[in-house]
Structure 1
Amino acid sequence: MSITASLGIPVVPESADEADPGPVELHARNVTFDWTDVPLHWIPGHPVASNFISVLNLLLPEGERWFVQTYNEALPLVADEELAARMRGFIGQEAMHAEAHDHVLWEFLDHHGIDPRPYQLQMEWIFRKVLGPATKGSPAARRKHLVERLWFIAALEHYTAVLGDFALNNNWIEAGAHPMMADLFMWHGAEEVEHRAVAHDVAAYFGDSYLRRGRAMLMVLPILLLLVQRGYRFIMKQDTSVSYNYLQKKWQYHRGVRANLLPRISTVVFSTFSYFRPGFRPEQIGSTAQAVAYLAKSPAARRAA
């Protein structure tokens, strides 16, 4: 199923083998990557597309650690053992994502002359200070703060599912992208599709409120777009191998979109509307069967195994 599912467009499996297998047991997969020979522009002939996708390596480590911290705070309060088991699987997967992308910061970006430290300090401030756990107030106030953060994560996970679906259905491999970086994002994207319903179900367990759900989404979208755009400018400013002006960068970006190497921002933004639709379920985004099939053959996961 393609990213069109995020817009509410049904996609019928092409064969029985692609039928949704239903609930799957979530577990962290050990992965190993070697960034020694991966070029900064890992999609040949597409420096802007390469750098735009690489922004996620700047953004994700602190965000994923915040997910883990928040869920470890919430887990002792969950009496539903089935949901708790899914949360533990989610925590394991997100912790592995944080570790994998953290290695990219220093073994890939820093190695190629892109100093991630200033951006990382900003991410630490956002996720550790601004969005960190409440340490003051009554137990009721601290619980309310926790529920707000859980809905914030649910909103973010809506977009990670949409982007995960894109990672599994793009043209990176056909364009000659370096298989190591392509596998990093496809492995990560597949796990985002695999656990796409967990954050929504956890938030609903603690406080199923349409108002909270909508408020979190309306906050997340502009912040996410701002951080991605800021990260893109941060990398491009330090990438001395390209000297595009503003119009050239825009043209290169749209060239990447047309080649299905970059997600169309308008598609990601419009996927927000499906989140507000009555009866929406995260399982309507992407295909569990496709995600599990990729995870079974991911080179990184196979190497670690």
Structure 2
Amino acid sequence: MPRPTPPVTVHDSLVLEPRDVHFDWSELPLHWIPDEPMATHTINVLHLLLPEGERWFVKVFKDALPMIRDEQLREEVLGFIGQEAIHAEAHQEVLDHLLGQGLDPRPYVRQISWLFHRVLGDKPGLTARQRRENVIERVAFVAAIEHFTAFLGNWALNSPGLDRAGADPTMLDLLRWHGAEEVEHRSVAYDLMRHLDPGYLRRIRGMAVSGPLLIHLWIRGTRFMLAADPTLDGRLVPTWRDARRAARRGLLPEPGRFLRSAARYFGPRYHPTREGSSSQALAYLAKSPAASAAAAR
């Protein structure tokens, strides 16, 4: 028999709306932060990871739906699924645009696809109990990753350095629209994990696996993008010093803040609502060009 489902704290006013946004990438320059290829491609790793990653999130959460015993949480999970599906397609369009500019992301994307489908995908031959445990374990991985996406979303909403550097406005809207929705739904994966397993060990194991893996993939992705950039001829190799310099100028998140954010996840009293501001996220979504256009359709 499955263990009794514990109560979970959800939010009375949280209604997640999938916003069917569209972006025009026809004028996007290859280095959309002018004269900053390293910072540009470090952020471009999002486009490498998110299409396959967020499709995997959707699959995991659909597998978890029959286990949910709280109707409000179920509605939040359905809203999360809708938002993540649109995120995946929006970032896929950027990959297609990069390919048209002579930067082929497909070798790295194939590796990401293999990771999510073969390593983190469904395991054949499991018993019903083993399958349930496998789904909950993957939900814990999603919860840990969503902590980082909320951190990045909060950074994108508070990154005037990108505006000062003249970053492409369409890309900024993509990053801030997506970031705002990550902040908006930042609690859903964590609350689902706690609903299915309130234990501390599951939460810590999720972060212990997902955190180092995400950092590794991001470093490899940055190196790949710079090596694949046809305008650089392999001349630019990223370093931590370069990343820190870009962070001081507000072009990238500060590595120290990223690590401190990860450490907060281990706190016994941690909850995602303490990360970022829902009111700020909703305020941006109310003025986002892409989200406003979607609302008007």
The question of a shared fold, defined as TM-score above 0.5 by the shorter chain, is answered with yes
Q: Call closer, same or farther: CA 1:94–1:239 in 2, change over 3 Å.
A: same
Q: Which of 5, 23, 35 is the matching residue for 2:13?
A: 23
Report the secondary structure of 2:164's partner residue. coil
**Given the two structures, how large is their TM-score scaled by the length of structure 1?**
0.89
Encode CA deviations 1:8-54: one digit per residue, 9 max, x unaligned.
Answer: xxxxxxxxxxxxx9733101001010111110111112111111101
The reply on whether 1:212 has 2:202 as its aligned counterpart is yes
The reply on whether 1:190 has 2:166 as its aligned counterpart is no
Tell me the matched-pair count.
Answer: 283
Q: Partners of 1:53 and 1:238 in 2: how far apart? A: 15
Once the 2 structures are TM-superposed, how far is the Cα of residue 160 of structure 1 from its aligned partner?
0.6
Equivalence for 2:70: 80
Q: Which of 109, 112, 133 is the matching residue for 1:120?
A: 109
Unaligned 5+ residue runs, structure 1? 1-20
Q: Call closer, same or farther: CA 1:297–1:236 in 2, change over 3 Å.
A: same
- Contact 1:187 1:298 (C-alpha < 8 Å) held by counterparts: yes
- Contact 1:49 1:261 (C-alpha < 8 Å) held by counterparts: yes
Q: Partners of 1:121 and 1:144 in 2: how far apart? A: 27
In the alignment, residue 85 of structure 2 is paired with which amino acid? A
Encode CA deviations 1:169-213: one digit per residue, 9 max, x unaligned.
Answer: 012122211000011111000000000000000011111111111
Equivalence for 2:289: 299
Once the 2 structures are TM-superposed, how far is the Cα of residue 277 of structure 1 from its aligned partner?
1.1
Unaligned 5+ residue runs, structure 2? 1-10
**Given the two structures, how large is their TM-score scaled by the length of structure 2?**
0.91
Q: Partners of 1:22 and 1:92 in 2: how far apart? A: 19
Once the 2 structures are TM-superposed, how far is the Cα of residue 251 of structure 1 from its aligned partner?
4.7
- Contact 1:27 1:89 (C-alpha < 8 Å) held by counterparts: yes
In the alignment, residue 117 of structure 2 is paired with which amino acid? R
Q: Call closer, same or farther: CA 1:78–1:39 in 2, change over 3 Å.
A: same
Equivalence for 1:276: 266
Report the secondary structure of 1:177's partner residue. coil
Equivalence for 1:152: 141
Q: Partners of 1:254 and 1:240 in 2: how far apart? A: 25
Structure scoring higher RCO (CA < 8 A, sep ≥ 6) equals 1
Pairwise CA RMSD: 1.6
Once the 2 structures are TM-superposed, how far is the Cα of residue 87 of structure 1 from its aligned partner?
0.3
Q: Which of 121, 135, 147 is the matching residue for 2:124?
A: 135
- Contact 2:14 2:76 (C-alpha < 8 Å) held by counterparts: no
Q: Partners of 2:244 and 2:283 in 1: how far apart? A: 30
